[in-house]
Structures are given as C-alpha cells and as structure tokens.
Amino acid sequence: MTFAELHLHLEGTLEPEHAFQLAERNHITLPWRDVDDLRSRYDYGCLQDFLDIYYANMEVLRTGEDFAELTDAYLARAAKAGVVRAEVFLDVQAHLARGVSAETVLGGVSEALRESESNHGVSSGLIVTFLRHLPAEDAERAYDQALATGVELLGIGLCSSEVGFPAAPFAPLWERARADGLHTVAHAGEEGDASYVWEALRDLKVERVDHGIRAMEDPTLVAHLRDNRIPLTACPLSNVRLKAVPSMAAHPLSAMLDAGLLVTVNSDDPAYFGGYLDDNIAAVCSEFGLTELQVATLANNSIEASFLSPAEKAQLLS
C-alpha cells in the first residue's frame, strides 16, 4: 500500500549514529557520551523532555551538505515504508536562532527534495515550521528569511511547546502566507486539549491539524472535523512515547476512523519515537487489529489529505 506522509519533522529523522558522525565532521561536542547514552534518554515524561534533546541534537547540523544528507536518508527510508508523497516540516526558525543561515538550511534540504522523485520515487513538498513558544515577530522574521532564499515552499506550520502558548498572535503571519499562495497547518491537540484545535481552526484557519487527537474529547468538534473533511495527522508512536496518551491501547486512532474522520498515520520524529511510517502502521494494526479495508482507508486518507492537485490525487488513488 502507498501512503503520503504529512507530519514529519526532518530534524526528527536524525538517527543517533548520524548525529555522532556529523558531530565529528563538524567538530561539535554533543552533551551525550555516545550513541547508547543518547538512546537511553529517549524515554520521555512529556513533550518538553523530547524537545530539549531534539533542539540539542540540532547543533550538529551546520552545512548545506548536512541538511541534504539528512533529507536524503529520510526519503530513502520513507520510500521503503511505502511513502510516495512526503510533505515535510523544517524547523528553519530554530536553525536561524543558532546562527545557521536560511540559505544553508533551505538550500541543502531543497537540493535533496529536488531529486526525491528521481532518486526515491517520492514526490515532495516543504513546509517551514515556526515555534509557538517564541514571539510571533520572531516567526515573521524567519518567514521573511525563508522567502528571501527563493526556495519553493509548499506551506507553513506551527510546532513546539503547545500548552500555554496561544495561536492567535500568529494569525497575521498565517494570513500573509495564505496571501502568498502557501498552504497552512498547525500542531494542535497533541498536549493541549480540544480548545487548542478550535483555536487553530478559528484563528489560523489551518487546512490540516497536526496530531489533533484530543479533538476526540469534544463531540461538537468531531462533527465539525468530519463534516468539513478537515484532515488530522496522527502520529501513534509519538503520542505514546510523549505520553499524550497513556498507552497504544488508549490511542484514539481506531475511534477516529470509526467516527469517519479524515485521519492519517505519520511518524512525526521517527528517529526519536521508535519508528517510521511503516512501523506506525504496524503498531496500530497489531494494537487494534485493523482490517485490510481500514488500512486502505488510512492510505487513501493520506492521499486525500495531501496538498497534491486533484489530478495527482486521482492518479495515486487509482
């Protein structure tokens, strides 16, 4: 079966071995003894525990070559997982904050994405993400710098710490990106409750909600998402690892399918959460005993929820 992967942070594909290789190449000392020490820390109490390690490891990504290599390694692995379309997130703002230029970051990533179809049979698009724990003005400056590179963007997204950081201040930037012809998404309802999903829809007018699993706590919201075919990009292994749900058995994926939601399965930060898209599909199949038809629904949902043109979607769905 073939899938579109719609919720994937490129920096979250940095495998521990690759992080240490890049640290050596770039003469950077990571705050971990070795690969095993780093891996031993992948037992998180919450989203912030993970983000602290995720941002620390970004330090090793310095050159365009580093970003191209990271992106290409993900595309190769995603192709093996059955991914034919990848709409990937890039935390450009986090790299700017540590002194790596937008040209370096976007140049390297776009070099690999340009070849994604010919090298891996994966069509791709780039969504630059902004950090909701920082002021919206910082995000606006990062957006300006990303645009100035001339690298083609598919959309913008919002991520990082959720609870206590409202979406409303980002509304002008989301409006601006739409006027620039870009698609818009946002993480919501991962650690925050259903009100964060409402807020992303109302204030940011997003086309897709990333995670959105806590929408299930609000029947009115579920009906709204279902009736308007608003996609949700669930990431089951991530949600379990980050304790957004207490266990896979408690994950709402199966209930989301039963409710007729346009839910998709994605890997989020696969190097940190124990697996890529195929591993996520295997995990939900084994937990919920999904039928062949339900897996096909997840595959078709992912194509429908992508930002491909209607003609491209029809071709993949056939």
Q: 228-267 mask for Zn ion (x: CB under 5 A)?
A: ----------------------------------------
Name the binder of 214 from ligand ADE, Zn ion, none, CB < 5-8 A by kind. none
Q: Does 190 bind ligand ADE (CB under 6 A)?
A: yes
Q: Which residue is nearest to ligand ADE (CB)?
A: 159
CB atoms within 10 A of CB 9: 24
Q: Closest approach of Cβ 270 to Zn ion, in Å?
A: 11
Q: Which two tokens stand for residue 8?
A: 């994937």
Dist. CA 65–CA 173, nearest whole Å: 30
Q: Which is nearer to ligand ADE, 9 or 183 (CB)?
A: 9
Is the distance from CB of 30 to CB of 77 less than 8 angstroms? no
Q: Which of 159, 167, 185, 283 binds ligand ADE (CB under 6 A)?
A: 159
Q: Is 190 a catalytic residue?
A: yes
Dist. CA 55–CA 41, nearest whole Å: 14
Dist. CA 7–CA 279, nearest whole Å: 15
Q: Closest approach of Cβ 157 to Zn ion, in Å?
A: 8
Is the distance from CB of 184 to CB of 178 less than 8 angstroms? yes
Which contiguous run of DSSP H or E holds residue 199? Answer: helix 194-203
Catalytic choice (5, 11, 87, 190): 190
Q: Does 72 bind Zn ion (CB under 5 A)?
A: no
Task: Determine if residue 9 is left, alpha or beta; phi over 0 gives left, psi from -120 to 50 gives alpha, anything else beta.
Answer: beta
Catalytic residues, by residue number, are: 190
User: Which residues make up the interface to Zn ion (CB under 5 A)?
Assistant: 268
| Residue ranges that bind ligand ADE, judged by CB under 6 A | 9, 12, 47, 54, 159-160, 187, 190, 238, 268-269
